[in-house]
Amino acid sequence: MKFFIDTANLDQIREAQSLGVLDGVTTNPSLMAKEGIRGEANIAQHYIDICNIVDGDVSAEVISTDLKGMIKEGEKLAKLHKNIVVKIPMIKEGIQALKYFSINNIKTNCTLIFSPGQALLAAKAGANYVSPFIGRLDDISNDGLSLIQEIREIYNNYKFETEILAASIRHTMHIIDCAKIGADVMTGPLNSILGLLKHPLTDSGLKKFLEDHKKNN
| Binding segment toward ligand G3P, per CB under 6 A, in 11-19, 67-75, 88-96, 131-139 | 131-139
| Binding segment toward ligand G3P, per CB under 6 A, in 68-76, 89-97, 129-137, 149-157 | 129-137
CA atoms within 13 A on the CB side of 136: 11
Return the number of the residue (7 or 126) whose C-beta is nearest ligand G3P.
7
Instruction: Tell which one of 43, 123, 167, 175 touches ligand G3P (CB under 6 A).
Output: 167
Query: Which one from 34, 68, 76, 87 is the annotated catalytic residue?
Result: 87
| Binding segment toward ligand G3P, per CB under 6 A, in 49-57, 93-101, 130-138, 141-149 | 130-138
Instruction: Tell which one of 53, 96, 136, 149 touches ligand G3P (CB under 6 A).
Output: 136
**Cα–Cα distance for residue pair 207/111, rounded to 1 Å:** 44
Return the number of the residue (36 or 200) whose C-beta is nearest ligand G3P.
36
Q: Is 192 in the site for ligand G3P (CB under 6 A)?
A: no
Q: Is 7 in the site for ligand G3P (CB under 6 A)?
A: no
Number of other residues whose CB lies within 10 A of the CB of residue 90: 21
* Backbone angle region of 148, left / alpha / beta, with phi > 0 → left and psi within -120 to 50 → alpha: alpha
Kindly give the residue spans of alpha helices, DSSP state H, lying in the chain.
10-19, 29-34, 40-53, 67-80, 92-103, 116-124, 134-139, 144-158, 172-181, 190-194, 200-215
Question: Rounded to 5 degrees, what angle do the CA atoms 103, 26, 131 make?
Answer: 65
Residue 132, C-beta contacts closer than 8 angstroms, at least 6 positions apart: 113, 114, 119, 144, 147, 148, 151, 164, 165, 166, 167, 168
Return the number of the residue (167 or 183) whose C-beta is nearest ligand G3P.
167
87 part of the active site: yes
Residues 59-118 touching ligand G3P, rule: CB under 6 A, are none
Active site (catalytic) residues: 87
Residues that bind ligand G3P (CB under 6 A): 6, 26, 28, 133, 135-136, 167-168, 187
